């Protein structure tokens, strides 16, 4: 990673010290004034707003629109205005660009502020020094024929345009720059490794406290913690947490269970920032023979190539239909999808191979000078920039199971370095490049992804309950699933006659996937020689959901998502009549 950082620094310095080639025509200049890539981080001023995750409701986020458009021979310029509130003074201001059709410049109040060679992956720009309180003018200059098109051969040249959401985001001067989440399962317990990356923009040291909570779909806090940190002037540091959390339901296609991770920071007795994220517990690995595993179980995947529709409603309809048809995963093609795509894949239990925006098919296969840019060191920083942006903007989504370096880009030095840089960051998930001719910079080949017969929907029924010895109150519960353990309760009733309940209660039961357990309920309140009925109902938590507080933080609402494939966690035994003493 040191080599990568030095390479990026070198191209930026060369651009500042007098390179004659315009930067949008220079492959070595990948960005100026651009923040490091990260996942979706939106600052809120209360826990309720943060957990609701309605980004437009944040007082620290200002969506932008109302663009005017002008065109010249070389570029198209979009203009709009925004106001910086008084409350944002002494805070950092960032411009978020969700997606732009090509290379672009950022101009604030007539002054050049930033540049990005790629607009296909979300980018953020610190505009604190060039914006002011009150009215500001923003210009996005999109170049018509940038050099970056050499890396984007999988789609026709589009008119220069802003294609994704744009907003201004404000954060404290000591802020959460990013969050890194790693999870895995051990039996029915979830292991959480959390890194909260704090960055200080201040000129003196400050002490901070970071708090976190994990909230299940019912709104219950199942784990929490806190840790103190000291931030030196204009430094960045990572505050790490480790937790072993019992009775966690893992994320998978069988049951895509999502939990809410809530984070807040405190300084000098005041809470400065509130954020939340959706997380799922699962560990994806790769066997020696190239088989992908989920929680140690071989994962059968029917990976289809997929280009998500641009319209959100069409995208949702298409993905729900795919899931109902048993499609287990998608290998992304085309320009990178929106963050709404990843959120939908998380909620539906669709596995995703996230792909960097690199396709150089028009350059041919030659690795000689002036051949394919994949083997031209002048493009190294551009390749690394796209691969790292793909990784960091999608890494925390539980649906993201594979990382792909690109598509139909021959092979060579830049893809070798991209593979090494990504493997240095990612410890578990496969990194692939299926069009590389079977070279070493791919963890598995496409044939190993498509060899499976497909991922069927959830088994129904997937819990079975049978009597072992009713007189002794012994029963057996079987879990037919391959990945998802079950943790719940056996609610029992002993009934005399038709309605006379003489004994009732609950017994906790847990069973690992593909296993069975026996449990005992007390047979009480019966008389010798008298008939009685045993009724048992096994019930667990509602299978899938999303926790949302509705105004009052003490009020919990359970909102069902589109998940028609998952049956209720329920099994019933109605024992008929038994005679006491038998």
Q: How far is CA 463 from CA 192, 205, 222, 466, 507, in A?
A: 28, 56, 25, 10, 16
Structure tokens at 328: 């287990």
Q: What is the mean pLDDT of the chain?
A: 85
* Helical pair 413-425 and 380-394, crossing angle rounded to 10 deg: 30
Q: Among 15-29, 305-319, 478-492, which stretch is predicted with the lowest mean pLDDT?
A: 15-29
Q: What is the pLDDT of residue 560?
A: 29
Q: How does pLDDT run across 112-171, given as a tens digit for each residue?
A: 999 999 999 999 999 999 999 999 999 999 999 999 999 999 888 788 999 999 999 999
Let me know if domain 2-171 sits in CATH 3.90.230.10.
no
pLDDT of residue 558: 29
pLDDT digits (tens, 9 = 90+) for 229-276: 999 988 999 999 999 999 899 999 988 999 999 999 999 999 999 999
Output the pLDDT for position 450: 55
Q: What number is the average pLDDT over the span 212-220?
A: 91
So what's the pLDDT on residue 447? 55
pLDDT band at 6 (very low <50, low <70, confident <90, very high): very low
Predicted confidence at residue 221, as pLDDT, reads 94
Q: How far is CA 89 from CA 97, 113, 362, 554, in A?
A: 22, 19, 49, 32
Q: For the chain, what are the domain ranges?
A: 2-171, 174-279, 285-450, 463-579
Buried b (16+ CB within 10 A) or exposed e, 305-320: ebebeeeeeebbeebb
Beta-sheet strands, E only, within 365-441: 400-404, 431-432
The percent of residues in the chain predicted with pLDDT above 90, rounded, is: 61
Structure tokens given for 341:
């795509």
pLDDT tens-digit series, residues 356-401: 999 999 999 999 999 999 999 999 999 999 999 999 999 999 999 9
- Give the model's pLDDT for residue 432: 93
392, 41 Cβ separation under 8 angstroms: no
Cβ(575)–Cβ(535) below 8 Å: yes
| Cβ neighbours around 547 below 10 Å, total | 23
Count of CB atoms within 10 A of residue 83's CB?
12
What is residue 54's predicted lDDT score, i.e. its pLDDT? Answer: 58
* pLDDT tens digits along 69-116: 999 999 999 999 999 999 999 999 999 999 999 999 999 999 999 999
Digit-coded pLDDT (tens) for 476-494: 999 888 888 888 888 888 8
Q: Categorize the per-residue pLDDT at 565 as very low, low, confident or very high, splitting at 50, 70 and 90.
A: very low
461: confidence class by pLDDT, cuts 50, 70, 90? low
Quick one: average pLDDT of 305-313? 89
Q: Which CATH superfamily is domain 285-450 in?
A: Glycosidases (3.20.20.80)
Q: What is the pLDDT of residue 487?
A: 81
Q: Is the pLDDT of residue 9 over 60?
A: no
**For residue 406, cis peptide bond before it (omega within 30 degrees of 0):** no
pLDDT for residue 569: 39
Query: What confidence score (pLDDT) does residue 532 get?
Result: 80
Say whether 463-579 and 174-279 share the same fold: yes
Nearest-Å Rg of the Cα atoms of the chain is: 27
| Strand pairing category for 431-432 and 400-404 | parallel
Task: Kindly give the interhelix angle for 2-16 and 380-394, rounded to the nearest 10 degrees.
Answer: 120
| More confidently predicted of 74 and 188 | 74
Is the pLDDT assigned to residue 512 strictly greater than 70?
yes
**What pLDDT score does 156 carry?**
84
Q: Across residues 341-345, what is the average pLDDT? A: 93
pLDDT of 440: 94
Q: What is the pLDDT, as a whole number, of residue 517?
A: 95
The full DSSP string for 257-271 is --EEEEEEEEETTEE
Residue 53 pLDDT: 67
DSSP structural state of residue 23: G
pLDDT for the residue numbered 574: 52
pLDDT digits (tens, 9 = 90+) for 533-551: 888 888 776 554 454 444 3
- CATH-assigned architecture of domain 463-579: Sandwich (2.60)
What would the mean pLDDT of 520-540 be, rounded to a whole number?
82
Over 90: is that where the pLDDT of 5 sits?
no
Nearest to 492 by CA among 540, 537, 539: 537
pLDDT over 70 percentage in the chain: 86
Q: Is the pLDDT of residue 562 over 50?
A: no
Quick one: pLDDT band at residue 526, thresholds 50, 70, 90?
confident
pTM for the structure as a whole: 0.87
Q: Could you tell me the two tokens for 47? A: 């826990």
174-279 maps to CATH 2.60.40.10: yes
């Amino acid at each position: 990673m040191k080599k990568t950082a030095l390479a990026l620094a070198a191209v930026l310095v060369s651009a500042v010290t007098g390179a004659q080639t315009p930067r949008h025509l220079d492959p070595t200049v990948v960005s100026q004034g651009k923040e490091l890539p990260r996942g979706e981080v939106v600052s809120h001023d209360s826990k309720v707003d943060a957990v609701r995750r309605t980004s437009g409701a944040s007082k620290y986020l200002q969506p932008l629109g109302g663009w005017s458009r002008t065109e010249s021979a070389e570029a198209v310029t979009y203009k709009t205005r925004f106001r910086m509130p008084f409350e944002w003074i002494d805070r950092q201001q960032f411009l978020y660009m969700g997606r732009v059709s090509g290379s672009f410049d950022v101009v604030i109040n007539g002054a050049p502020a930033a540049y990005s060679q790629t607009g296909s992956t979300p980018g953020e720009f610190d505009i604190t020094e060039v914006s002011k309180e009150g009215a500001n003018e923003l210009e996005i200059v999109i170049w018509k024929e940038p050099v970056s098109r050499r890396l984007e051969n999988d789609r026709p040249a589009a008119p220069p345009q802003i294609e994704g959401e744009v907003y201004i985001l404000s954060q404290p001067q000591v802020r959460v720059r990013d969050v890194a989440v790693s999870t895995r399962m051990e039996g029915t317990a979830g292991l959480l490794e959390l890194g909260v990356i704090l960055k200080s923009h201040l000129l003196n040291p400050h002490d901070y406290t970071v708090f976190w909570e994990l909230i299940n779909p019912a709104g219950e806090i199942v784990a929490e913690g806190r840790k103190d940190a000291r931030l030196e002037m204009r430094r960045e540091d990572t505050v790490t947490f480790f937790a072993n959390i019992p009775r966690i339901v893992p994320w998978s296609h069988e049951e895509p269970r999502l939990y809410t991770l809530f984070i807040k920071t405190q300084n000098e007795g005041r809470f400065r920032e509130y954020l939340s994220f959706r997380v799922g517990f699962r560990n994806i690995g790769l066997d020696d023979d190239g088989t992908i595993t989920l929680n140690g179980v071989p994962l059968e995947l029917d990976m289809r190539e997929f280009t998500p529709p641009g319209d959100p409603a069409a995208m949702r309809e298409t993905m729900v239909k795919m899931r109902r048809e048993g499609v287990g995963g998608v290998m992304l093609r085309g320009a990178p999808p929106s963050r709404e795509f990843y959120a939908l894949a998380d909620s539906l239990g669709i596995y995703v191979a996230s792909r960097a925006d690199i396709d150089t098919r028009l350059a041919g296969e030659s690795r000689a000078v002036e051949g394919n840019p994949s083997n031209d060191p002048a493009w190294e920083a551009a390749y690394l920039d796209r691969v790292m942006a793909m990784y960091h903007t999608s890494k925390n989504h539980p649906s993201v199971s594979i990382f792909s370096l690109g598509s139909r880009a021959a092979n060579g030095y830049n893809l070798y370095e991209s593979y090494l840089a990504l493997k240095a960051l990612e410890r578990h998930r496969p990194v692939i490049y299926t069009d590389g001719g079977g070279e070493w910079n791919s963890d598995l080949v496409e044939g190993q992804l498509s060899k499976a017969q497909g991922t069927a929907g959830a088994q129904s029924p997937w819990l079975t309950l049978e009597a072992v010895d009713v007189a002794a109150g012994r029963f057996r519960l079987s879990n037919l699933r391959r990945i998802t353990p079950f943790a719940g309760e056996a609610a029992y009733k002993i009934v005399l006659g038709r309605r006379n309940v003489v004994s009732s209660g609950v017994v906790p039961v847990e069973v690992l996937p593909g296993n069975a357990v026996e449990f005992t309920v007390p047979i009480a309140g019966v008389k010798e020689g008298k008939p009685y009925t045993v009724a048992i109902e096994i019930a667990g938590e509602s299978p899938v959901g999303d926790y949302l507080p509705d105004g009052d933080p003490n009020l919990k609402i359970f909102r069902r998502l589109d998940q028609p494939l998952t049956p209720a966690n329920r099994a019933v035994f109605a024992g008929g009549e038994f005679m006491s003493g038998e």
